[in-house]
Amino acid sequence: MVLSRTQRLLRAFAAWAVVMLFVFPIYYWVTLSIKLDREIFSIPPKVFSFETSAKSYEEVFGISLGFEEGLAVLPGGGDFYMTPRLWDSIVIAVCSTVLAIVIATLAAYALSRMRFRGQHHFVFWILSTRMMPPVAVAIPMFFIYRDFGLLDTYQGVILIHALMNMPLAVLLLKSFFDDIPKEIDEAALIDGASRFLIFRKLVLPMAVGGIAATAVLCFIFSWTEFLFVLTLTQTGLKTVPVVSSTFVTSTGTAWGNMAALGTAAILPAFVFILLVQKNLVRGLTLGSVKQ
Amino acid sequence: MVTRALRAPRFMVSDHPLPWLLPLIVILVVFAVYPLFYNIYLSFHEFAPRKREIVPVGFDNWAQLFADPRMWSAFYVTLFYTGVCLTIQLVLGMAIALLIDSDDPGFGFLRGLLTLTLVIPPAITGMMFLLMQDAQFGLITWMLQSLGILTQATPILATPSLALWGVILADVWQWTPFMVLIFVAGLRSLPRDPFESAMIDGANSWQIFRRITLPMMGKVIAIAVLIRGIDLFRMFDYVFVMTSGGPGTSTYTLSLYAWQQTFSFIKWGYGATLSLFALIVILVAANLFVAIFKVRW
């Protein structure tokens, strides 16, 4: 539609205003982590001008950010020392992503290239696991893990996160493989190459971008997952989203520390999501809406 | 050349899909099918505290489920929450998508900014809104009080009639951009011709939106509603960290109720029954939706 200059300006103004409304809570949360405690609780709330402090980060990550002393590692070990929990989150997210991608890539290639009876039902079965309420998996899984000694272990959480990401990974990768012309495979088949060789040497290199985008989304969903970690871990390990609810104590909530942990947890995710902008919508819709 | 490939027996080109699909099938069977059957088994048993083991109880859990007023309350809260969030996010999402679907400078950046809310762990979003809606020093509370909409006597998350709306606000904030991004992608993939002919014929903006944009966006809207609807129906994180179901039972969703019955009240069998009920409702509803709106993957 053709808009006049004024209309375009108005539109730009409205668009910025709306987006800022969505960005504002993030800004407010991030600034919380560098505010002094009494500034957090001031009425009226201080939004744009406040006294800053690195105390929250020092307590949460056990590092000193003071400018006089320079960067130093503090002993760490207070109630809010969270570096090990950040490490748990990274291990779980990375391992479950790798596992999900390896399994899903193989399956997605087959679903994209081969035809078999009941294929439609098979795809729908994968899709329907995406519909299961996590609580309906978490409850039986708790008892199964208890019997197999998998409660409170990395392996247990990694496996369940890989399962959770499986429908997304398979369907999304299938849509990326579908984009690569089948004629390439057929030509190589005639030349005598095996399916696995074609997969490894021809199709995989061409799908690297799509696989990377899928991996980023799997990472983010594992990174932000709450219910499974809450249910299947006790004291041995915890991820950032679950541990953030423990900042609520009987003597009040350590909002500054929680904001520091939250900020540290969302910054890597922000970087990742900006890397996959091009394929984001495709990922969010499990490969069905292309940009 | 192609015909020769077609004539070759299947096994010679090792074209059988089973080896490729086997790892996926194994993980789905072990982590989705087995738990499902285990859950069905649990729903016919209950933990007996005296014996410290689970004993079979037949259909007791299912009978209790349909007679339990708190279950129906949780079911109603879940449906209300899903319906309200879905409606708000659809309307708001479409409006914002139409607003920022532009090639003018800066709009690409704005669309990038909107993706940021999607990667925040919902539990942390819940904590964010818990603070902002705090009765004493919450930013949203303060703004609403300054505007005279809210009095000090009604803290948002501790007032039964308002608490669910407080949770809905967090959900709308985090997931409206999800709709926006999908709709923008949908809008961009529409062909130009129908819009040009409509403009030549003198249709106004509303007519164009109602008669051309909406029908052509049908598939994209259906997929967005399906995915979002599923996630809304099984929502757990926000209510767990923001209200724990309270005050009273005003924010108990089915997922939270099932979880608390299992792990807080040691009603293993009843919790499993509740979670199965949620599973059945969601599978039936999603499959009906797929059939009615002919969603294809």
Domain positions in chain A are 5-73, 83-284
pLDDT at B12: 43
Number of domains in chain B: 1
- Put simply, the answer to whether B17 touches A114 (Cβ < 8 Å) is yes
- pLDDT for B3 beyond 70: no
| CATH top class, domain A83-284 | mainly alpha
Query: How much is the pLDDT for A215?
Result: 94
- Residue B263: give the domain boundaries: 62-292
Q: How far apart are the CA of B6 and the nearest CA of chain A, in angstroms?
A: 10
Dump pLDDT digits (tens) for A13-63. Answer: 999 999 999 999 999 988 888 887 777 777 777 777 777 777 778 777 777
Q: Which of B20, B99, B255 to mutate to test the interface with A (most CBs of A within 10 A)?
A: B20
Angle between helices A154-179 and A83-113 (to 10 degrees): 40
Provide the token pair at B178.
């999800």
pLDDT, chain B, mean: 88
Residue B9 pLDDT > 70: no
In a domain, B5, yes or no: no
Over range B144-162, report the average pLDDT.
84
Domain CATH for B158: 1.10.3720.10
Say whether pLDDT at B68 is over 90. yes
* Token digits of residue B51: 């014996």
pLDDT at B11: 45
pLDDT at A1: 57
Contacts for B50-59: CB closer than 8 Å, 24+ residues apart: B54/B268, B54/B269, B57/B269
Beta carbons of B110 and A288 less than 8 Å apart: no
Give the minimum alpha-carbon distance from A72 to chain B in angstroms, rounded to a whole number: 28
Which DSSP string do the residues of B200-240 spell out, in sequence order? Answer: HTT--HHHHIIIIIHHHTHHHHHHHHHHHHHHHHT--HHHH
Rounded to whole angstroms, the Cα distance separating B235 from B285 reads 16
Residue among B14, B119, B185 minimizing CB distance to A266 = B119
Which chain B positions have a beta carbon within 8 Å of A242's beta carbon?
123
Residue A75's alpha-carbon distances to A79, A261, A265, in angstroms, are 12, 18, 22
In the Cβ-directed half-sphere of A273, how many Cα atoms lie within 13 Å? 23
- Give the burial string for A83-119 (b: 16+ CB within 10 Å, else e): eebbebbeebbebbbebbbebbbbbbbbbbbbeeeee
Q: Residue B189: its chain A contacts at CB < 8 A?
A: 290-291
Element (H, E) at A63: strand A63-64
Interface test with A, best of B16, B21, B228, B244 (most A CBs within 10 A): B21
Look at B246 and A64; give whichever has higher pLDDT.
B246
% of chain B beyond a pLDDT of 70:
95
Q: What is the DSSP letter of B30?
A: I
CA distance B82 to chain A (A): 14
Distance from CA of B287 to the nearest CA of A (A): 9
**Per-residue model confidence as pLDDT tens digits over B172-190:** 999 999 999 999 999 988 8
Q: Classify residue B124: in a domain, yes or no.
A: yes
* The predicted structure's pLDDT at residue B229: 95
Asked if residue B75 is part of any domain, the answer here is: yes
Q: Show pLDDT as tens, one digit a residue, over chain A (291 residues).
A: 567 888 889 999 999 999 999 999 999 988 888 887 777 777 777 777 777 777 778 777 777 665 545 555 555 556 677 778 888 999 999 999 999 999 999 999 999 988 888 888 899 889 888 889 999 999 999 999 999 999 999 999 999 999 999 999 999 999 999 999 988 888 888 888 888 888 998 899 999 999 999 999 999 999 999 999 999 998 878 888 888 877 776 667 788 888 888 888 888 888 888 888 888 888 888 888 877
- Whether the pLDDT of residue B13 is over 80: the answer is no
**Nearest residue, CB atoms, A244 vs list B2, B113, B123:** B123
